[in-house]
Each structure stands twice: as structure tokens, then as C-alpha cells.
Amino acid sequence: MFSPVIGQKAKRAAVRKALDQHKVYVTAQSFSAGQYSARVLVDGEAYWVDEFRLSQLRQGLSPAELELTPATDD
């Protein structure tokens, strides 16, 4: 049986999960010799990543978990 209290708790848990995830913004993309790379901004820090790492970031993994180093400005 569905209870309004259970429904509210589920909604609040979903909102909490969404707020806790890192926001990933793609600021530049590069296609060279068949390779894709993207410059992303996560929590105010920029990183160059490939397509696989980008998908991992979008799934909620942090740059620290992926052992990414911040991009240097040229």
C-alpha cells in the first residue's frame, strides 16, 4: 500500500541525491585523428577528459576518484 509519507521520503531522497552529485559542464570539445576529448568544468576546476571519463563523471564519479589532474591554461 502506498503512503503519502513514503512518497515524500522518496522524493526528498531523490532531490538530495541530485544535489549531492557534481555538476559537469563541457566547455570545449576536440576531435583529432579520430579521438574525442572534452574540457570539462567540475566544481570550479577544469579537466581534459576522453569520452569514457566524461561518461564516468556524468554518472557521478568525482575527478579525485578518477585520478584526474586539473587542466593547465595554455
Name the pLDDT band for 69 (thresholds 50, 70, 90): very high
- Based on C-alpha coordinates, what's the Rg of the chain? 17
Domain that holds residue 27: 22-74
- 38: which residues sit within 8 A by CB, 6+ positions away? 26, 28, 29, 30, 48, 49, 50, 51, 54
Question: In total, how many domains does the chain have?
Answer: 1
Spatial separation of the C-alpha atoms in residues 46 and 27, rounded to whole Å? 9
Strand, coil or helix: what is 13? Answer: helix
In a domain, 69, yes or no: yes
- pLDDT tens string 31-67: 999 999 999 999 889 999 999 999 999 988 899 999 9
Predicted model pTM = 0.70
In a domain, 61, yes or no: yes
In a domain, 16, yes or no: no
Give 18 or 24, the one with higher predicted confidence. 24
